[in-house]
């Protein structure tokens, strides 16, 4: 369950270049929702994702995720929350290029209570689930875009979080790989994960159960559909 109440975010507050990125956002997402957040560049959709993911603290309002009021948490608690509850998938994959696939997937477990010895096993399971177990020993720069994004998804699910936040996950992929990635997201959603995806690509909304349109920091449309 994700609940945002009166969330306001400013960038460069009090300066001449102040931007009111999110304006009094009220939003509720249920468990197992597969939501797309759409809107033009600079509309605040990624900012909304960062607030939900505990990456950005709003200047006012509250954000509650799985009963955790993350807007009132301390930095250390928010870091633990990100580690346990959220999996991030980014447009440029957000992978460490000179490390292997396996090492990249193990990264979130470095900040968890998981023992070092069992980390590799969990990482391999995540890779197998996404059918890229054979890439484990490859370096990231040896992978294609589609493979890299699958590795990013494997890293996002390795801690078995309940929520996956994806920021333009298909932005660097061709249509075929974008389609494959959406199938992966759909599979994860069917397994019970809440997925919130920011996208420019309106066609991808067809994969989602809910489409939230945002413009100038405000929610301008919120449509539910059944897929």
Partner 1 sequence: MKFIYLVRNQFSKFWGRELLLILQIVAMICLTAPVMTDVAALLSVNRLAEQITGPAIFMQADSRYLMPDEMAPQAFYEALSRANNIEEVKCVGRTADATGRFDQQSALITFYNPALVENVTLPLRRGAVYFPEESDRIPLLITQELAQTYNIGDEIPIQLYFPVSRIYAQEAFVVVGILDSDGYYYEFVGGGTDIALNAMGAKNSDDKFRAIALSGFDIVPMLDISASCLLFVEDDSQATVDAVNRALAGIGSAARIDTMRQNTIKAVVQDQPLLFVAAALMILLCWLGTVIFNWLNMDDFIGRLSVYYICGMTLHRGFFANATTQLIPILFSVPISILLAQAVPIEISMAGIRMSLLLILPVIFLSILFLSLRFRKTDPILLLQKNE
User: Does 201 sit near partner 1 (CB under 8 A)?
Assistant: no
Q: Sheet harboring 68-69: ordered strands across? A: 19-29, 2-11, 60-65, 68-69
Tokens 């009090």 sit on residue: 14
Burial grade of 113 (CB within 10 A; 0-12, 13-18, 19 or more)? exposed
Of 122, 150, 155, 193, the residue at the interface with partner 1 (CB under 8 A) is 155
Kindly indicate which of the ranges 23-31, 44-52, 58-66, 141-149 contains the residues binding partner 1, using the contact rule CB under 8 A. 44-52
Are the C-beta atoms of residues 210 and 221 closer than 8 Å to each other?
no
Kindly indicate which of the ranges 37-45, 121-129, 183-191, 204-212 contains the residues binding partner 1, using the contact rule CB under 8 A. 37-45
Q: Which of 193, 172, 197 is nearest to 182 (CA)?
A: 197
User: Does 33 sit near partner 1 (CB under 8 A)?
Assistant: no
Q: How many residues bind partner 1 (CB under 8 A)?
A: 38
Of 8, 66, 112, 125, the residue at the interface with partner 1 (CB under 8 A) is 112
Of 14, 15, 16, 116, the residue at the interface with partner 1 (CB under 8 A) is 116
Nearer to partner 1 (CB atom), residue 153 or residue 209: 153
- Looking at the DSSP bridge assignments, the partners of residue 8 are 60
- In the range 57-86, which residues lie near partner 1 by CB under 8 A? 75-76, 79-80, 82-84, 86
User: Does 40 sit near partner 1 (CB under 8 A)?
Assistant: no
User: Does 154 sit near partner 1 (CB under 8 A)?
Assistant: no
Of 34, 50, 185, 207, the residue at the interface with partner 1 (CB under 8 A) is 50
Q: Is 126 helix (H, G, I), strand (E, B) or coil?
A: helix
Q: Are strands 34-38 and 210-215 parallel, antiparallel or unpaired?
A: parallel
117's CB contacts (< 8 A; 6+ apart) are: none
203's CB contacts (< 8 A; 6+ apart) are: none
**CB 46 to partner 1: min, Å:** 4
Nearer to partner 1 (CB atom), residue 196 or residue 209: 196
Residue 16: phi and psi, rounded to 5, are: -60, -30
List residues binding partner 1 (CB under 8 A).
41-42, 45-47, 50, 53, 55-56, 75-76, 79-80, 82-84, 86, 88, 90-92, 94-99, 103, 107-108, 110-112, 116, 155, 167-168, 171
């Amino acid at each position: 369950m994700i609940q945002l109440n009166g969330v306001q975010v400013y960038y460069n507050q009090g300066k001449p270049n102040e931007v009111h990125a999110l304006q009094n956002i009220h939003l509720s997402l249920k468990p197992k929702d597969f939501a797309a957040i759409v809107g033009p560049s600079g509309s605040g959709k990624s900012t909304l994702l960062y607030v939900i993911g505990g990456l950005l603290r709003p200047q006012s309002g509250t954000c509650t995720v799985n009963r955790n009021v993350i807007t009132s948490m301390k930095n250390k608690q928010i870091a633990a929350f990100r580690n346990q509850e959220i999996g991030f998938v980014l447009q440029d994959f957000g992978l460490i290029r000179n490390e292997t696939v396996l090492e990249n997937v193990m990264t979130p477990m470095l900040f968890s209570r998981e023992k070092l010895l069992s980390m590799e096993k969990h990482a391999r399971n995540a890779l197998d689930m996404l059918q890229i177990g054979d890439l484990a020993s490859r370096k990231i720069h040896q992978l294609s875009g589609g493979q890299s994004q699958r590795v990013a998804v494997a890293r996002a699910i390795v801690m078995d979080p309940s929520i996956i936040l994806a920021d333009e996950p298909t932005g660097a992929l061709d249509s075929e790989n974008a389609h494959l990635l959406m199938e992966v997201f759909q599979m994860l959603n069917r397994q019970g994960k809440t997925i919130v995806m920011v996208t420019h690509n309106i066609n991808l909304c067809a994969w989602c159960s809910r489409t939230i349109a945002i413009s100038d920091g405000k929610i301008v449309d919120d449509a539910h559909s059944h897929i």
